Amino acid sequence: MRHLVLLAMSLAAFELKADILVPARTIRAKEIIAAEDLVPKEVEIDGALSDPRDLVGQEARVALYPGRPVRTGDVGPPAIVSNNDVVTLVFFKGGLRIETEGRALGRGALGETIRAMNLSSRTTVTGRISGDGSIEVQ
């Protein structure tokens, strides 16, 4: 019976270890992660990403160092609008659509909310980034 308990404890310890993905090189913030940038590592770390689909093609939000685990908040979708980009500001109300030029006051990915300055009125507005890089103002 004692052997079964020891075997069960050994198996439980073995099952806790899982492959996570860690950077093979230093990946700078704002850099897009490629498959060759990642290597598996067998270790147990809560919150560490292990599925390459969660990492490849994503943008590093912070510097990622070789051998260190990558967590969900460390990566995100690639930014399509950068700080100081000239963008189209779009306002919808009923059937009315108004467009004007603006300047992005931050960077962000599709669907994220950022601030922008209307270049004609110099007022600051907040809006959501669209797929074409325009900002839909609320």
Q: pLDDT tens across 67-109, in order?
A: 999 999 999 999 999 999 999 999 999 999 999 999 999 999 9
Beta strand pairing call for 96-104 and 135-137 = unpaired
pLDDT, residue 17, reads 54
Q: pLDDT digits over 110-133, tens only?
A: 999 999 999 999 999 999 999 999
**Res 13 pLDDT > 90:** no
What's the pLDDT at 83?
96
The pLDDT of residue 40: 94
Instruction: Judge whether residue 38 has pLDDT over 80.
Output: yes
37, 60 contact by CB (below 8 A)? no
Cα distance from N-terminal residue to C-terminal residue, the chain = 68
Alpha-carbon gap, residue 30 to 41, rounded angstroms: 24
pTM: 0.72
Domains and CATH numbers, the chain: 2-76 (3.90.1210.10), 86-137 (2.30.30.760)
Distances in Å between the Cα of 131 and the Cα atoms of 100, 105, 109, 136 are 17, 18, 9, 11
Listed residue (92, 99, 97, 84) closest to 134, CA to CA? 99
Residue 18 reports pLDDT greater than 70: no
